[in-house]
Amino acid sequence: MSIQKNSTRATRRSTITWMLTASSTIPFLNADTSPEEFSASDPKLNTPRKDLWDRTLNKSQFPLVATLADIILPSSDGKPSASDLHIPDFIDEWISAPYALQQKDRLIILAGLKWIKKESRKRFKKGFTKLSEIHQAAICIDIGNPITANPIYESAAAFFLLFRKLTFGAYFTTEVGKKEIGETPLSTLELPAPREPAVPRKRTRVEKREPSERPNQERKPNFKPRAQRSNTGRK
């Protein structure tokens, strides 16, 4: 399903600071990285250049990232969605940063986005952002759990696992996310267990009609009483 995403982008410097903070505080984001490699006081933030480094995602990739992030963290119970919180901007900055871990993740994310596009057109003849929620969920369910995923989706499942880590890592370092986890220290957080996307129930033809167009529930019999039947035929 094509959804109108947050059309505004977060500022570069605020997102980079956010990214660096998350990388040094969320354990499932920096497990393979030494703490010295990242710092919110990175000298690159003090350079006079307008842009610190080029962002990676192009005009077709960024909406795809926003759609996937919103599937993982949809708007519900009054809580904002991932795109409402600018998490796609966080992911873009993460895979654009010139650090070893981010450059490694960049390759996985870009390859995964390419796979999502190809798989979407292969199955449903449309780009992923144009699919119905049911079809989007069908693809995500197949790659949502690297432990139970079919071996043919091994690489795609590894991509989705990393994408979930980035989405939740960004979320837990927003004010909304911090409020949700309460007093739990960020340093002890674990990645939430995978769960299947909510799939809307497919409505029947009758449910799709306007109430005034729906037939009366008291259906008339589709047969004639025996006494009214024609006398022709077998006696």
Token pair listed for 59: 């005009």
Residue 42 pLDDT grade (very low, low, confident, very high; cuts 50, 70, 90): low
What angle do helix axes 100-124 and 87-96 make, rounded to 10 degrees?
A: 120
Predicted local confidence at residue 158, as pLDDT: 96
Does residue 111 surpass a pLDDT of 90? yes
Does residue 94 surpass a pLDDT of 50? yes
Q: Which residues pair with 79 in a beta bridge?
A: 76
Does residue 159 surpass a pLDDT of 90? yes
Q: Is 76 in contact with 2 (CB distance < 8 Å)?
A: no
Does residue 155 surpass a pLDDT of 70? yes
Average pLDDT over residues 35-48: 49
Closest CA to 13 of 56, 53, 59: 53
128 compared with 76, residue with greater pLDDT: 128
74 compared with 230, residue with greater pLDDT: 74
Residue 8 pLDDT grade (very low, low, confident, very high; cuts 50, 70, 90): confident
**Which residue pairs from 77-84 have beta carbons closer than 8 angstroms and sit at least 24 positions apart in sequence?**
79/176, 80/176, 82/167, 82/170, 82/171, 83/5, 83/6, 84/6
- Predicted TM-score (pTM) of the model is 0.76
69-78, 124-133, 151-160, 185-194, range with the lowest pLDDT: 185-194
Predicted local confidence at residue 13, as pLDDT: 87
Residue 6 pLDDT grade (very low, low, confident, very high; cuts 50, 70, 90): low
| Rounded distance between C-alpha atoms, residue 118 and residue 196, angstroms | 21
Q: Is 140 in contact with 112 (CB distance < 8 Å)?
A: no
Does residue 34 surpass a pLDDT of 90? no
Predicted local confidence at residue 44, as pLDDT: 55
Does residue 60 surpass a pLDDT of 70? yes
30-34, 108-112, 153-157, range with the lowest pLDDT: 30-34
Q: Give the mean pLDDT of the chain.
A: 81
Does residue 184 surpass a pLDDT of 80? yes
